[in-house]
Amino acid sequence: MVNSLLPYGAAPAYPEVERVVTASICHMKEGIYAQMENIRADSLRLNPVHGIHAVLLYQSGWFLHWAEGPAPAVRGLLRRLAKDPRHHSPHTVHSSRGPRLLPTPWSMMMSQTTEPPVYFGDRVKALREQFEQGTQYAPSSVLRRLCSPMQLPQAQGLPDPEACHRLGICAAGGNQAFDMVEWLAQRYGSAVAKRRFAGEQDMDGSSEYVEFMEGRHPCRMIAVARNGLAHGVRRAFLPEWPHFVMLFGGIAEFDDALMARMIAACEGLPATPTLVGIAPDAQTQQRMQDMARRALLVYAAAGIARPDDCPAIWQIVRDQLQRAGEPPGAVWDVPLRAA
């Protein structure tokens, strides 16, 4: 397992698939949760048969559908989706061929934002226009640009607002990762965005993130529930996160379980984040480092702190960011491929 992101179009170790992202307007006014569960049941029955992996997202009255698989299967899926009465006006905002990026047959997300549909639609229109003019972005970047675009006013004038420090954070016990996001929101006067994720079996994963400026760079910290590490859409984004903060509490049962979840989440990905380990004592830190290295993951024993000591944790993370330098961008400009 490597720690440098391979170009998405050039990874011979991974079989090539068709990759398509479409955005469409939801026809339903209520019962979205129940309908998404119905879609999940149908997809889990059909997708594995046809070699399709997919993600469905709902936000602001719009559906986003990211599908990957053999070209005939994906095109057949798009034809079936076009006839589905639960949505209308599909727009293709990404189309490419390359290695599979989605690690599971199905996952989905619902956003709790109150943003009006027209604003989401404006972003779809802008991406669609770029697509038609011959420029597009990686599927993960498309989802982020549509569902969670950078909102910081200070970032809007930057050449690439997507070039920000992205930090995942998860805690071995309790809600300390989410507490950290809340603490940062209060510190920087920012709002907390909430997301709800689902995998193949359930719909109980959650995530929250906060944006702020760290020096002259935008920064986004994303709190991930422990069970959320297994969700396909979360795993699809891990290769783009240079750092993932892991808060350990000194209870071996919980700490080992979190590291095992992270190791499983990184399995088979084209790249993995550097794990920024923060533990309450040196013994726990060493054990976590040993587990990570046996799994060929890069682990930074970043510092000693309790998982509920937000100021100390943030100082450790800031030191890591300063050593990291310029944040990477996530723009993937490629010539438009003929369908």
Length in residues, the chain: 339
Q: Which residue has the tokens 């709002």?
A: 191
Lowest-pLDDT choice from 36-50, 163-177, 203-217, 312-326: 203-217
Q: Which residue has the tokens 């702190």?
A: 305
Q: Which residue has the tokens 């907390």?
A: 192
Distance between CA atoms of residues 190 and 185, nearest Å? 5
Distance between CA atoms of residues 333 and 138, nearest Å? 8
Residues 209-262: pLDDT tens digits? Answer: 999 998 888 999 999 999 889 888 889 989 888 899 999 999 999 999 999 999
CA distances from 320 to 150, 238, 242, 250 (A): 22, 18, 11, 22
Total-model pTM:
0.86
10/200: higher pLDDT:
200
**Residues 17 and 80 sit within 8 Å (Cβ to Cβ):** no
Distance between CA atoms of residues 45 and 42, nearest Å? 5
Residues 49-63: pLDDT tens digits? Answer: 999 999 999 999 999
Give the single-character DSSP code of 261: H
SS (H, E, C) 156-215: CCCCCCCCCEEEEEEECCCCHHHHHHHHHHHHHCCCEEEEEEECCCCCCEEEEEEEEEEC
- Domains in the chain and their CATH numbers? 16-151 (3.30.70.100), 153-324 (3.40.50.300)
